[in-house]
Amino acid sequence: MKRYLAADFGAGSGRVIVGTPSTEGIQLEEIHRFENNQKMIDGHLRWDFEALFNELKTGLKKAFAKYGNEIESIGVDTWGVDYGLLDEDGKLISTPICYRDDRTKGMLELAFQKLPKEEYFKLAANQFMEINTAFQLLSATVETSPCGVSELQHAEKLLFMPDLFNYFLTGKCYNEFTISSTSQLMNSLTHQWDDVIFERLGLPKHLMQEIIYPGTVIGRLSDELAEEVGGNLNVVAVGSHDTASAVASISDTNNDWAFISSGTWSLMGTPTKEPIISKEALESDFTNEGMTDGRIRFLKNITGLWLIQQLVKEWESEGYKCDYSELVKEAEQSTLSSSFNVDDARFMNPEKMSDAIISYLKENNEELPVTKGDFMRCICTSLAKKYAEVKTQMERCTNKKINKIYIVGGGSRNQLLNKLTAEHTGCEVIRGEVEATAMGNILVQLR
């Protein structure tokens, strides 16, 4: 029997999941779970990469200990835009910086001085967010390391985070298509690194690697690593961007559906054959990113369960024990009708999420939440209204009617949010896979 591993690095935790195909579908088994916490190092918010790679190795050890040579392959996925830099000896120059670090503030304005927004969108066709790789790199051109020498001057290769894990597994350097498509550095039509973008922004194109597609076998574990973890397997490029893997779990062959990958971010979109680079798509702030089958995810990044996650952290730090399902039940009992713009900049990384929400509501003369259920109701209502707004924009840009919305990922378990989404969008809401990312990851390996 063949089994397949999905290594999924999410915002708060990472998992190594075993997928076993059967006549009833793919059975998923979580074999290892671990925290994924970012750390402040040298004044920047960074990935704890060394610790995470050790956790990945632990997951491999557990899988081989239980299933031995039945383990066929592994695919790695993470969120988009973040990267690590290797020097000429193949060593990681420094711990990769997380997109929530504030080093990219002001980079959009600097970029548009070099490459006007409209011209830029026609090339990369991505939503303009200062967290994107292009603007992280741009910030590195104006920032120096503590020793006064830019890290970019010593860099030989740029690997996005899934590519970096794959490199540490195999020693092979590639940039996978779906994760590359989030960078705002790739031409959306040619699927190659765009010369104009690199030249106009003054970025070093030589750092970029060959772009490979999902389903490509990258290689086997290095001999040393295989001995350490107790076995060997193929490392496969999957939908390395976690949303690409999540969408790959949806099997609908019709053209009337949209998806919401509901997690820390809500990524709402619909499949298209070609990128949409119209003026309306630009003005509505949509992005065009790769799917695992080579099509395009025409979507918008919306702040998602981050709002709830930060509230729960805040409440637990104050001594309250928070049960997610109980919070949803309390929200169902709340009569609060207030809502806010979930994408307001103040919600990106506030000191206290509750204060940020109250601040917005006060400014807009909305009724203020009192109970935890009120806060939850307010967030769910706000998200549902945003989904309805984006659905309308998406229909205009794609010139098609959307009748169904698949909600996949952890947020699909929030029945109140599902219900409010159906009410505000007028669509049939279908709850997809909770472990959609792992499922899509494994489906690509099977393919």
Residue 149 has pLDDT above 60, yes or no: no
Q: What are the catalytic residues?
A: 242
Q: pLDDT-derived band of residue 142, with 50, 70 and 90 as boundaries?
A: confident
pLDDT tier at 148 (50, 70, 90 boundaries)?
very low
Cβ neighbours of residue 204 closer than 8 Å, sequence gap 6 or more: 152, 155, 198
| Average pLDDT in the chain | 95
Distance CA 412, CA 431 (A): 6
> What is the C-alpha to C-alpha distance for residues 39 and 55, in angstroms, rounded to an integer?
16
What's the average model confidence in pLDDT over 55-64? 98
The pLDDT, as a whole number, for residue 144 is 62
Pairing status of strand 211-212 against strand 175-176: parallel
Q: What average pLDDT does range 40-52 have in this prediction?
A: 93
Mean pLDDT of 67-90: 97
pLDDT at 151: 82
Please state, for a pLDDT cut of 90, what percent of the chain lies above it.
89
> What is the per-residue pLDDT for 26?
95
CATH topology classification for 3-240: Nucleotidyltransferase; domain 5 (3.30.420)
The answer, yes or no, to whether residue 53 has pLDDT greater than 90, is yes
What is the average per-residue pLDDT within 341-366? 94
For 260, residues 6+ apart whose C-beta sits below 8 A from its C-beta are 266, 267, 268, 387, 405, 406, 407, 408, 411, 421
The average pLDDT across 63-81 equals 97
Residue 196 half-sphere exposure, CB side, CA atoms within 13 Å? 11
Return the closest-CA partner of residue 142 out of 116, 183, 107: 107
Domain ranges across the chain: 3-240, 242-439
**What is the mean pLDDT of the segment spanning 8-32?**
93
Among 22-36, 89-103, 146-160, 293-307, whose mean pLDDT is lowest? 146-160
> At residue 150, does pLDDT exceed 80?
no
Phi-psi region of 365 (alpha: psi -120 to 50; beta: other; left: phi over 0): left
Mean local confidence (pLDDT), 83-106: 94
Task: Provide mean pLDDT across the span 272-278.
Answer: 96
**What residue has token string 């040579």?**
69
Higher model confidence: residue 41 or residue 199? 199
Half-sphere exposure of 278 (CA within 13 A, CB side): 12
- Count the neighbouring beta carbons within 10 Å of the beta carbon of residue 88: 9
Domain 242-439 in the same topology as domain 3-240: yes
User: What is the distance of C-alpha 266 from the center of its chain?
Assistant: 9
What distance in Å separates the CA atoms of residue 264 and residue 249, rounded to the nearest whole number? 19
pLDDT band at 8 (very low <50, low <70, confident <90, very high): very high
Dihedral over Cα of 46, 49, 55, 56: its sign: positive
Predicted confidence (pLDDT) at residue 278 exceeds the cutoff of 70: yes
Amino acid, single-letter form, for residue 46: R
List pLDDT tens digits, range 186-234: 999 999 999 999 999 999 999 999 999 999 999 999 999 999 999 999 9
Tell me whether strands 13-22 and 25-35 are parallel, antiparallel or unpaired: antiparallel
DSSP of 118-174? HHHHHHH-----TTSHHHHHHHHHH---TTSS-HHHH--EEEEHHHHHHHHHHS---
Flag the least confident range among 20-34, 72-86, 140-154, 361-375.
140-154
What is the number of other CB atoms lying within 10 angstroms of the CB of residue 45?
16
Examine the pLDDT at 147 and tell me if it is beyond 60. no
What is the CATH code for 242-439? 3.30.420.40
pLDDT digit string, tens, across residues 223-265: 999 999 999 999 999 999 999 999 999 999 999 999 999 988 8
Query: Model confidence at 11, in pLDDT bands (50, 70, 90)?
Result: confident
**Model confidence band, residue 152 (pLDDT cutoffs 50, 70, 90):** confident
Annotate 291-300 with b (16+ C-beta within 10 A) or e (fewer).
bbeeebbbbb
Which pLDDT value is given to residue 143? 72
